């Protein structure tokens, strides 16, 4: 990979300096003055690249999260989408406990109108996992609802654990909450109690989003209408 030059090099140096300050001293230490000094750039350079402190913090969160994923994506992807979902939960919790300041930067200051890019990236990954579960016929609720429930549960677990000192953390809370969350949104592959209508509708709706699934015979309007009907069946077919 070629050497970074100009603005790109400045941006990378600033983000590394800001992430180091965040990790070692906490969010309050990530001031534009401190970051500029640590990165050995003039404050106007920082403002020219990032605009303001909020944009800088968002970029730091995305930078740190991407760097973390680059290291952690070495694990093999499971052929079982539910197991992949389980592994995704464990990765999320491990990330939060290993990077508390970065995690809090991503999730502890919710701004619905300007969601953290890193938090949005994380949620997009969850949606992709959940689509696989639905396409396999293993989801008992809509993808949207399943993502919201699963994410809220994982977020609550991490926040709860971070509120305790490391020596007093009960890590079994994570696995217990994970398994309860999974049981609420997924079905067993051969369960006789599977809500057939909801699961089938959820699976078909997930397949509609995948290319090459024979939906080209439908117009965009027809596909949208069918998706709405399937969503209604998913949510009320239990």
**Domains held by the chain: number:** 2
Specify if 1 maps to a domain: no
Looking at the fold, whether 130 and 61 belong to one and the same domain comes out as no
Tell me the angle at which helices 43-50 and 6-25 cross, rounded to the nearest 10 degrees.
100
Whole-number pLDDT of residue 111:
64
Whole-angstrom Cα distance, residue 7 to residue 24?
Answer: 26
Q: What is the 3-state secondary structure (H, E, C) of 185-226?
A: HECCCCCCCCCHHHHHHHHHHHHHCCCCCCHHHCCHHHHHHH
**Domain final residue, candidates 49, 70, 91:** 70
Q: Which of 21, 53, 70 is the endpoint of a domain?
A: 70
Please give the pLDDT value at position 218.
74
Q: Which two tokens stand for residue 54?
A: 């909020």
pLDDT digits (tens, 9 = 90+) for 90-143: 989 999 999 999 999 888 876 666 667 788 888 888 998 899 898 888 988 889
Q: Are residues 209 and 116 in the same domain?
A: yes
Q: What is the pLDDT of residues 215-224, one digit of tens each?
A: 667 777 877 7
Same domain for 229 and 120, yes or no, is yes
- C-beta separation of 123 from 65 below 8 A: no
**DSSP state at residue 5:** -
Q: Answer yes or no: do 134 and 198 share one domain.
A: yes
Same-domain check for residues 87 and 21: no
In the chain, % helix, strand, coil (3-state, to 5) comes to 75, 0, 25
Q: What is the CATH number of the domain that holds 16?
A: 1.10.10.60
Mean pLDDT of 200-228: 71
Helix (H, G, I), strand (E, B) or coil at 141: coil
Same domain, 53 and 167: no
14: containing domain = 6-70
What is Dmax (Cα atoms) for the chain?
66
Q: Say whether both 157 and 217 belong to one domain.
A: yes
CA angle (162, 165, 168) in 5-degree steps: 110
Residue 182 has a pLDDT of 95
My answer on whether 160 and 93 are in the same domain is yes
Backbone angles phi, psi at 139, to 5 degrees: -105, 130
Share of the chain above pLDDT 90, in %: 45
Instruction: Note whether 113 and 226 are same-domain residues.
Output: yes
Q: Are 173 and 148 part of one and the same domain?
A: yes
The reply to whether 217 and 100 lie within a common domain is yes
Q: Is the pLDDT of residue 194 over 60?
A: no
**Higher confidence at residue 178 or residue 120?**
178
Judgement on whether residues 119 and 175 belong to the same structural domain of the protein: yes
Boundary residue ending a domain (21, 40, 70)? 70
Can you tell me the distance from the alpha carbon of 231 to that of 205, in angstroms, rounded to the nearest whole number? 7
Q: What is the arithmetic mean of pLDDT over 169-185? A: 94
Q: How far apart are the first and last CA of the chain?
A: 53
For the chain, what is the mean pLDDT?
Answer: 83
């Amino acid at each position: 990979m070629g050497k970074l030059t100009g603005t790109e090099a400045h941006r990378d140096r600033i983000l590394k300096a800001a992430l180091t300050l965040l990790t070692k001293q906490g969010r309050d230490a990530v001031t534009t003055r401190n970051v500029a000094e640590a990165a050995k750039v003039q404050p106007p350079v920082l403002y020219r690249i990032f605009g303001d402190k909020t944009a800088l913090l968002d970029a730091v969160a995305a930078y740190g999260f991407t760097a973390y994923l680059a290291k952690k994506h070495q694990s093999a992807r499971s052929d079982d989408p539910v197991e992949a979902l389980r592994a995704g939960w464990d990765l999320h919790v491990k990330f939060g406990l290993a990077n508390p300041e970065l995690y809090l930067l991503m999730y502890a200051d919710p701004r619905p109108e300007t969601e953290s890019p890193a938090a949005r990236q994380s949620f997009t990954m969850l949606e992709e996992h959940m689509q696989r579960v639905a396409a396999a016929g293993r989801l008992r609720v809509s993808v949207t609802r399943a993502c919201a429930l699963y994410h809220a549960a994982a977020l609550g677990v991490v926040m709860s654990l971070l509120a305790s000192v490391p020596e007093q953390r009960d890590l079994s809370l994570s696995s217990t909450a994970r398994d309860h969350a999974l049981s609420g949104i997924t079905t067993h592959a051969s369960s006789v109690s599977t809500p057939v209508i909801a699961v089938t509708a959820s699976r078909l709706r997930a397949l509609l989003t995948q290319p090459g699934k024979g939906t080209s015979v439908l117009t965009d309007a027809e596909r949208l209408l069918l998706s709405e009907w399937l969503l209604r069946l998913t949510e009320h077919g239990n």
